[in-house]
Amino acid sequence: MTHTILICDDDRDIVSALDIYLSSEGYQTVKAYNGREALRAVEQNDIHLILMDVMMPELDGIRTTAKLREGSNVPIILLTAKSEDADKILGLNIGADDYITKPFNPLEVIARVKSQLRRYTSLGGAEKGPGLLCVGPIAMDDSAKQVTVDGSPVSLTPIEYNILKLLLSHPGQVFSSAQIYEQVWNDPAYGSENTVAVHIRHLREKIEINPADPRYLKVVWGLGYKIEKGANG
């Protein structure tokens, strides 16, 4: 089954560039150039995902998102030139599922689209069994010692697995490097926490789409690491 994606941006070149990328990945696309057109397109087509710019004439992305959320839970990814935290938080709070800052990397866009679609279509109500740790798209089956992100398995080293397990079982809680070291290595930490930071970076590279801008495994600078509680989606 091919998914239909609505691309909405007032810059036509960006829309057609995204169209090329998404079409080459096998998606059907619908184009819109402002918020009103986007709303109309959603009414007329069966849309599975929306990629939308924030700053648009007539009706901006934030308001369009709010209108769409009145009657639909279709995944929305905001494209934003604003890189300020406040805008991202506003977008996510209003009902967007993810955001990508401009200028974006096409690979990242495709990865995020895939991730959102997978969760929207197949993992609508993720089945939760015993020994299954789930935060956002990350699912850990402790009995099978398997970790999946958006349903696709990720291979982790035992240490990475243990670190992820520790963080997943306490979502939202900040663990310092020393705490993680003591819990995972079962050894008192004597200045060897440095390895924890490296492991975490590797772990982040494996489960995050853009490791420099993590959505789930977050670095709390100067304090430690945490898994975002109830991470978007």
Give residues in contact with other proteins (CB under 8 A): 11, 13-14, 17-18, 20-21, 55, 81-83, 102-106, 176-178, 191, 193-194, 196-198, 200-201, 219-224
CB nearer to other proteins: give 62 or 200: 200
Min dist CB 108 to other proteins, Å, is 11
What's the burial of 115, exposed, middle or buried (CB within 10 Å: 0-12/13-18/19+)? buried
Specify the residue, 24 or 152, whose C-beta has the smaller distance to other proteins: 24
Tokens found for residue 187: 């050894």
Element (H, E) at 207: helix 194-207
Our CB check for other proteins shows the closer of 11 and 142 to be: 11
Structure-token pair, residue 28? 């059907």
Tokens for 58, please give them. Answer: 């007539």
Closer CB to other proteins, residue 141 or residue 193?
Answer: 193
Q: Which is nearer to other proteins, 104 or 120 (CB)?
A: 104
At residue 10, the 3 state secondary structure works out as coil
**C-alpha to C-alpha distance for 6 and 36, rounded to whole angstroms:** 13
Minimum Å gap between C-beta 24 and other proteins is 8
Distance of CA 77 to the CA centre of its chain: 9
C-alpha span between 53 and 78 (Å, rounded): 6
Smallest gap from Cβ 18 to other proteins, in A, equals 8
Sole residue written with tokens 């240490």: 159
Cβ atoms of residues 5 and 48 within 8 Å: yes
**What minimum distance in Å lies between the beta carbon of 104 and other proteins?**
7
Shortest distance, position 212 Cβ to other proteins, whole Å: 9
